[in-house]
Amino acid sequence: MAYTSPAVVIDNGSYTTKAGFASEDLPSLVFNTNYSVDNNSGAVVVGDDAINAAPENEVMTLLDNGIIYNFDNIVHNWNYVYDNIDNQNPIDAKEFPLVLTEQSWNTSKNRLTTTQIAFETLEVPIFSLVKTPIAQLYRAGRSTGLVIDIGGAVTSVTPILDGIIQHKSSFHSKFAGDFLNLHVLNYLESKTAIENLLPPQYHGPASSESFKNYFISHTVLQDYKSLALSYQLRDYQLPNGSHISVADSRNYLENLFQPTVNKLPNITIPEPAIDKPHTHGLTNLIFLCLKSLEATLLPTTNDSSSHNKLAKFTEIFKDLLSNILITGGTSTASGLPESIINDIRAMTQQYYSNYPFSYATYPIRHSTGDSSEIWDRQFGAWLGACNLASMLNDSNAESNSVKIALDNWFVTKADYEELGEDLIVDKFK
């Protein structure tokens, strides 16, 4: 039996939270994932305008390394969604299925805590945790592919074969959008005083240091970086009315590929190590992913059965490298997808020249620059999760969509209360 109410879909990113009904084409809410705490009442403040209206409050984060760590306050983020999702009108969480996204390296303990909040605090009737790269690839209409996600806090490389994430070959690092922000800030500080990056109303001790850092990072650095990375070479106007030239700033994208090249004051960047994928830049992260897959899938013997395994391995790699999805907010930077694809082409020609797929590297989403592609990159995980959630509303009597969704993606409140943690561990592993 199909569900009549559309699911609420929430994608908590380190930078922004995207939320809306699964029936919508784009998220109706896109707001800052950070929150602040009222100095007087201790109340949690959520939403861009509300945070900016009280600069004296301390600003806090909810995610670290791409996953939720602050479970005491994440529920305020979700409640904000329920209070505003319907054109700023509240809805009752008990009446709508809920879908959340999660990174593939999320822990079982976190999944259990998340599910507990969903069923016991929000009291949703049905719930799902969808892995971000699966949702992104599903949105692109593929079950096999290499998902390269360059977000605000994390860059990840995830190989997916027939809808299954290859966890041992999936790697991520913190060389992402926030890392580029550090280089932008270093450049701006060489040109002007840090106070000039703030509007006058936020100057002085009345504004907390955490708010100042938050505002600079999420407003000034984002704006400047967007301008610099779009290669629109013009001046950037600071809040005080003065200008800084964008034309003489360095190519910040190179820091994604070679994190140790440009030094940052008072910050030590670890030297890359083979056994520590998180220390590598983007191209090497992709290379380590492919080498790990090769070690896992390539036969080690030379008997007759190994020839079939070699043929299967070759086909898998061809399929994987023919379906590369480059996504994430930072991936919208001009020229970045092309640089990644060119590096992969060079890599496969150098290291995999014996296989007949050296030239088979093409992205699923070509860089046309149109608005639909930009939305897919920024909201791909949310849109893919919506596609999966919409299976619950399939009223076609001949379709098995609802059953498939319940069997593979969703847990009902009744099943959770009956089967508990074992069900969650098995369903969301």
- Paired strand residues for 58: 37
Alpha-carbon distances of 7 from 33, 44, 295, rounded to whole Å? 21, 26, 41
- Write the pLDDT tens digit of every residue in 54-64: 999 999 999 99
Q: Tell me which of 102-116, 287-301, 364-378 is least confident.
A: 364-378
Whether 8-140+380-427 and 146-175+270-364 share one fold: the answer is yes
Q: Tell me which of 208-217, 279-288, 335-344, 358-367 is least confident.
A: 358-367
Alpha carbons 371 and 427: distance in angstroms, whole number: 35
Long-range pairs for 187-190: beta carbons < 8 A, 24 or more residues apart: 187/249, 187/250, 188/220, 188/221, 188/224, 188/244
Alpha carbons 130 and 122: distance in angstroms, whole number: 18
Across 214-227, average pLDDT: 90
- The fold of 146-175+270-364 is Nucleotidyltransferase; domain 5 (3.30.420)
Alpha carbons 398 and 412: distance in angstroms, whole number: 23
Q: Are 209 and 217 in contact (CB under 8 A)?
A: no
Q: 3-state SS string over 59-90?
A: EECCEECCEECCHHHHHHHHHHHHHHCECCEC
Looking at the predicted structure, is the pLDDT value of residue 397 above 80? no
The torsion angles phi and psi of 245, rounded to 5 degrees, stand at -70, 135
The pLDDT of residue 357: 47
Map out the domains of the chain as residue ranges.
Answer: 8-140+380-427, 146-175+270-364, 177-249
Looking at the predicted structure, is the pLDDT value of residue 290 above 70? yes
Q: Are 114 and 100 in contact (CB under 8 A)?
A: yes
- Paired strand residues for 8: 21, 98
Looking at the predicted structure, is the pLDDT value of residue 327 above 80? yes
Listed in order, strand segments (DSSP E) in 268-331 are 324-327
- Write the pLDDT tens digit of every residue in 77-102: 999 999 999 999 999 999 999 999 99
What pTM does this model have? 0.92
The pLDDT of residue 375: 82
Query: What are the tokens at 325?
Result: 């999805």
Q: Are 236 and 85 in contact (CB under 8 A)?
A: no
Architecture of domain 8-140+380-427: 2-Layer Sandwich (3.30)
Query: What are the tokens at 59?
Result: 């600003």
Residue 382's H or E segment, with its range, is: helix 371-389
